[in-house]
Amino acid sequence: MPLVTRHVESMTILYEDHAAAWACTLPHIGPLAFNYEAWQRAGRVTGQAPGRGTSLFVDAGDGHEWVLRHYRRGGWIARLSASHYVWTGLERTRAFRELRLIAELHARGLPVPPPVAACVWRSGLSYQAALITQRLAGTRALAEHLASADAALLERVGATIARFHAAGLDHVDLNARNLLVDAEMRVWLIDLDRCRLRRPGAWQAANLDRLARSLAKFNAPPSAMQAIRRGYTDA
């Protein structure tokens, strides 16, 4: 589906065209859709995910769940501003870039969460932003599977990463929490903030090395990464 842009109050919202007929009230695409407190007041928060800041799981109605995430800074710069970014143009905002990338990969049939909407609100020379994707039902992070993961699952992880690399995706934060596994043992990739499509290069090995460091932090045995690399190579 094509992505369309609309201006609502002080916000600019990018969303899929099939949502064009939705009203600007909860749980639909509009200012309240990106407001944590509005979802909480409506009693529609169903959970949250770990990570920088908070990603809320919300009941969007009609059997759908969304993941709402506000962009938050990390490291020393967060001491200066936790959620404001320098304005360099709408299409260069982190939210618009991530949603467009998710939509592109989803259109290619790659296992990413279906896109819903992105929102940017500008204040002078800075902006804040938020992203909504559909929640992947029944998934758990690879980190939670490591204690019992067999070679078949780990090789499937490697093969999935190879699919993304073949499409040119450089995932700058490839770790055991950004790879999800569903009830059918299918592997999904999330959190594409700052990621981009590139020609083949050294970044592919760097992605795998980053994942290896992540597995080590979760005390996975060396054989886990060996199986992932095997699946990657054989894909």
- Three-class DSSP category at 105: helix
* 234 assigned to active site: no
**Integer Cα distance of 2 and 19 in angstroms:** 10
Contact assessment for residue 193 and residue 73, using Cβ atoms and an 8 Å cutoff: no
Active-site position among 17, 170, 173, 193: 173
Contacts of residue 108, defined as CB under 8 A and 6 or more positions apart, other chains included, come to 167
Helix (H) or strand (E) holding 43: none
Outline where DSSP puts E strands in 9-166.
Answer: 11-16, 45-49, 55-61, 64-70, 85-86, 115-123, 126-134, 140-141
**Integer Cα distance of 56 and 47 in angstroms:** 6
Contacts of residue 68, defined as CB under 8 A and 6 or more positions apart, other chains included, come to 33, 34, 36, 39, 55, 56, 58, 130, 131, 132
Residues marked active site are found at 173
